Amino acid sequence: MTNAGTGSSCGLKPVLGAPRTARVILGDSGGGGGTSCGPLQRPDRAGNVLIETVPTTGPGAFAPILYAFDSTGTPLGLTALTDVGTAFAFPIKAGWLLETRTGSGGTRITRYSSTLTLDRQLMEGGSPFADTLLPPPGGAGVVAAAVSLDAGSPTCPANQPRQLVLTRFDGTGAEVASRMIGCATQVAAVSVGENGASDLLTLAMGVASHLAPDGGLTQMAQARQGLLQPLIDGRFALNEGTSWTRTLDVNGNDTPPPCWLQVRPDVSRFQIVLGGRAYLAYHDALVAPMSSQACDQYAELVLADGTSCGFVSLSGTDECSASTVAVGLDGTLATLDPRTCTASFWPQVLH
């Protein structure tokens, strides 16, 4: 790992000017209670921004409302969700795939347009999906993948009666491939990652499954489990709980992680940015759950060779965390001030 000097490729590092802004006016939730603002969801490939609000008390609890704004801050639409315990939005070309988990434990994935009009329900099941995929800006077309636990199958043994199925969605949110990758009793210890070549790698039940862009499936024994994150060179970094321990490729080969990750134990996640020339590394692994990090020590720009370009000076919020900082598929960087429910964003600054 090195630090950059003048004249290095760190000239790519963005200097944030005045942001564009979008604000949600918070009011009564309808039951005499208040409303909390956040999380900030990732902008879609068109640069549209998505803010989530949730009633904190009253009969409206567990009914998030999503608000969409275009790249100028103009409102595009909103949608209110009912009987939802959690909601996760995955950006597509124009809009989002929305994974929701109901209060009764069911899970569904639906496609919404950029104006938050319900377009189509894609998947629904009684058990939660094990993992979902958010590819980096500049990815090669795979926008989301889900590992779901399907109902009993005659191909599975009696002690593991349910299928683990890997489903791939393209840049429009359409399902393009679905393959069975194993049998299980419940969803557990599953992770999935996608690299810039649209290879999917999944770890589940002691097996690594590689789903190639042409739909071909290769499986190999792999005892390691943890969070997979794609690297610029096409491999995957593996976090087994508290640190980045190994690197895996699509053939299951197991090697040490990159030096720049080894020496950053406080980096819990990172994204590929600037068209595959750098990473944006988030320093929040050592922060207590539900806490935030100082915004001048949160998002570090690291070049592909491990050179540090320093931290990006974020503004628009005093509380930097996974709930208030997001980078979209087009490289739009956004922050959220939960107190005023105002999003600040810089279109395509990390494209």
Q: Which of 114, 105, 58, 54 is nearest to 81 (CA)?
A: 54
pLDDT at residue 177 is higher than 50: yes
**Higher pLDDT among residues 5 and 48, named by residue:** 48
Q: Can you give the pLDDT at residue 136?
A: 37
Place of tokens 């003048």: 6
Contact residues for 23 (Cβ-Cβ < 8 A; gap 6+): 340, 341, 342, 343
pLDDT at residue 220 is higher than 70: yes
d(CA 177, CA 144): 11
Q: What is the DSSP string of 155-175?
A: TS-TTS-EEEEEEEE-TTS-E
Mean pLDDT of 269-281: 91
Lowest mean pLDDT among 50-64, 89-103, 134-148: 134-148
pLDDT at residue 32 is higher than 80: no
Token pair in block for residue 273 = 């940015």
Give me the torsion for CA of 62, 323, 203, 217, rounded to 10°.
90
Q: How many CA atoms lie within 13 A of 328 on its CB side?
A: 30
Partners of residue 121 on adjacent β-strands: 110
pLDDT at residue 169 is higher than 60: yes
Lowest mean pLDDT among 9-13, 148-152, 253-257, 308-312: 148-152
Q: Can you give the pLDDT at residue 288?
A: 67
Place of tokens 């004249």: 7
CB 48 within 8 A of CB 69: yes
pLDDT at residue 131 is higher than 60: no
Q: Is the peptide bond between 91 and the residue preceding it cis, with omega within 30 degrees of 0? A: no
pLDDT at residue 37 is higher than 80: yes
CB 160 within 8 A of CB 183: yes
- CA dist list (Å): 289 to 286, 292, 293: 9, 8, 11
Token pair in block for residue 36 = 């909390």
pLDDT at residue 137 is higher than 50: no
Contact residues for 335 (Cβ-Cβ < 8 A; gap 6+): 19, 40, 295, 314, 315, 316, 317, 320, 324, 325, 326, 343, 344, 345
Q: Which of 231, 210, 234, 208 is nearest to 221 (CA)?
A: 208
For the segment 225-249, what is each residue's pLDDT rounded down to a tens digit? Answer: 888 888 888 888 998 888 899 999 8
**Higher pLDDT among residues 194 and 161, named by residue:** 161
For the segment 245-260, what is each residue's pLDDT rounded down to a tens digit? Answer: 999 988 888 899 999 9
**Domains, the chain, ordered by start:** 16-346 (2.130.10)
DSSP class of 8: S
Confidence at 125, pLDDT banded by 50, 70, 90: low
Token pair in block for residue 128 = 């939660």
How does the average pLDDT of the chain come out, rounded?
Answer: 81
Confidence at 211, pLDDT banded by 50, 70, 90: confident
